Chains A and B, each alone.
Chain A
Amino acid sequence: MYRYDEFDARIVKDRVEQFRGQVNRRLSGELLEDEFKPLRLQNGVYLQLHAYMLRVAIPYGQLNGAKLRRLAEVSTKYDRGYGHFTTRQNIQYNWVALKDIPDALNDLAEVEMHAIQTSGNCIRNVTSDHFAGAAADEVMDPRPWCEIIRQWSTFHPEFAFLPRKFKFAVTAAAADRAAIAVHDIGLRIVKRGEQVGFEVYVGGGQGRTPLLAALVNDFVPEAELLDYVEAIMRVYNRYGRRDNKYKARIKILVAELGPEEFTRQVEAEYAAQRPHEKIDLPQAEIDRIHAYFAPPAFDAEDGTDAFEAAKAAEPDFAQWAEVNLHPHKQAGHASVTVSLKPIGGAAGDATDLQMEIVAGLAERYAYDDIRVSHAQNLVLPHVPVKHLYAIWQALDAAGLATPNESLITDLIVCPGLDYCNLANARSIPIGQAVQEVFADPKYQREIGRLHINISGCINACGHHHVGHIGILGVDRKGEEFYQISLGGRADEKAAIGAIAGPALKGEDVPGAVKRIIDAYMALRTSPDELFIDTLERVGADPFKEALYATA
């Protein structure tokens, strides 16, 4: 994990003091709310339905015990004893007082955390694969480049007032767990011989105009990455639309120019950079940052026998192990998903006590490494299998061992109308009602991998466009309705789901989803054919028919 040096620490400390000054000027009335708004937003402070919300950055989802414990403490000290993990791998507190935020930020700075650029029309938190550094299918660990991008984008003077927000995602694995196709810039690390470089995708996004990113360059050598990205950002900053906030994302610029013309403009800007304009990132700096991400000294003891014995003795553990573990590159290890999706819970929420328990488990058993996944779960990326049973017992006792990773109840859900002032409809209760239908773990496993994503409005924070089944809350004359889409996916075969038909009343959504699943179970060729594969094979019609069938 990256650790701050004196420079990083000073920048974050200076930021805390700067924001303290801004809050004081706002509280004294010197700053108008209108002038304060972009300042607080660039520090993750929103004014929500009921209170201020603070969004804290978790760069590429990386935590350790001390950081997670501090996040728990902040929730106790300044909020109501819980936090909400988001699809950008960040955490949000929903009930903080403005006057307390500088102190909260100061507490966070002590553990090398901040809220810089977690909102506003600037470069946001860089997201990545939550199994980075552990996954068997990656060409290298993507986190060092995420950290380099984090630093480069922090207080970038030219790109602090972009036409709209700007999101990076980085992956280095064959299976894309970072959803790079639906980001403003998606980077895939590839190797040509020993040379590390990037496939650069630009102009993906969700919201009201969902689009997949276009490949703009298939190999930018690592030493040139930041200069190349600066060229993209400058083209966007100069020519992205500013007349309509719904057309201001870079995806619209790419779509209106066409990917070829956009690429030509980026290449022209890149070619025009003079030598002294180059960032010229020193190789020693690339190496320095990479060194922080060296793998831990893996435990060589083979714990497989104990693991197998525990599974044989404890069916619930065996069931959890079957679902919530991911293959690790190191023998005798696994990556553990700590589910924040209990049946009937609010997706991504964790209490202070739960955060402390996971922090303790990471420190005791898992090389002190914790991640937040974009699916709103926590992950212990490196776990010796001999410790899995002890970890499961502790998680189970804390309500954190729901065996549903990537199953139908592992929903991505935005906060919706229960919290958010942009929402048209509630998301959390719809998610809970869908979960209830599929609560039986055995039934979920029979259905297999299936992603249901729920957003409470067209801004798509719940990623409904890329859910295998997407649910979007809409407002129909003051009543909450829900539109179902089918066939979206966020992985390496990314696709935008297609709307199935007329929107449904909230109370009808769980039954409709159940009918879709019944149709799938009848249509699939074998239990190995996933829902999304059956849909691809037979098309959406049988599912639409089932969806709108009345009993």
Chain B
Amino acid sequence: MPLLKDGAEIENIWLFAGQEGEEDLKPDQAVTLPLARFLELAESLAGRNAPVGVRLVPEDDPELLEPFLEWIQLVEVSFPKYTDGRGYSQAQLLRRRHGYTGELRAVGHVLRDQIFYMNRSGFDAYETARAELPSVLEALNEFRDTYQPAADGRVSVFHARHGT
């Protein structure tokens, strides 16, 4: 599935290691794990050479990741249905409250017209079958101004009006 990041389509080197045993965690393979499995294996994963990440489902509490955010390199936030907006709160919390600075990727039912909000909420990568790169780039710039502060750090209109 196409992966879009930093204005370009990039290769996806990551593998999602869902429910199987540890044999799928090949030493040189970048993997993301479900939150529960990640928490269970965190100690051993910390020593791996290959990059490690986590995939959150909407019910997951991102706060549980706080002790690991220094070294994990990818958090995937999944949208089983694009109408399920919990991932936006997870993203804002990871970026703004827990200080995560690594890649934050939206996966699942990711559509062009959600990407503006995703970007504002702190996502910087989008795995999507339903949006071509040019239309995603267009979506990111559909609004020149935004009223609220959010994880993207854009100056809010409330503040821009007063030069603050």
Contact = CB atoms under 8 A, between A and B. Distances in A.
Contact of A157 (B130, B142, B145, B150): B150
B97 interface: yes
Contacts of A285: 158-159, 161-162
Given A272-B97, A279-B149, A39 B159 contact: no
Contacts of B145: 7, 10-11, 14
Given A7-B157, A161-B85, A14 B143 contact: yes
A282 interface: yes
A238 B59 CA distance: 8
Interface stretch (B2-10, B36-44, B88-96): B88-96
Given A151-B158, A237-B88, A158 B121 contact: yes
Nearest to B138: A21
Given A5-B161, A7-B160, A277-B97, A121 B83 contact: yes
A162 interface: yes
Contacts of B148: 152, 156-157, 279
Contact of B83 (A18, A155, A161, A237): A161
A160 B88 contact: yes
B101 interface: no
A261 B33 CA distance: 33
Contact of B147 (A35, A39, A155, A272): A155
B158 A157 contact: no
Contacts of A272: 97
A11 B147 contact: yes
A161 B84 contact: yes
Interface string A154-177: 111111111100000000000000
A38 B117 CA distance: 14
B144 interface: yes
A17 to B, nearest CB: 8
Interface in B93-111: 96-97, 111
Interface of B: 58, 82-86, 88-89, 92, 96-97, 111, 113-114, 116-118, 120-121, 130, 138, 142-150, 156-162, 164
**5 A-B pairs with the lowest CB-CB distances in the bound complex, closest first:** A161-B85, A157-B120, A157-B117, A7-B157, A158-B88
7 contacts: A152-B148, A156-B148, A157-B117, A157-B118, A159-B85, A234-B89, A280-B149
Interface of A: 5, 7-8, 10-11, 14-15, 17-18, 21-22, 35, 38-39, 121, 151-152, 154-163, 234, 237-238, 242, 272-274, 276-277, 279-282, 284-285, 288
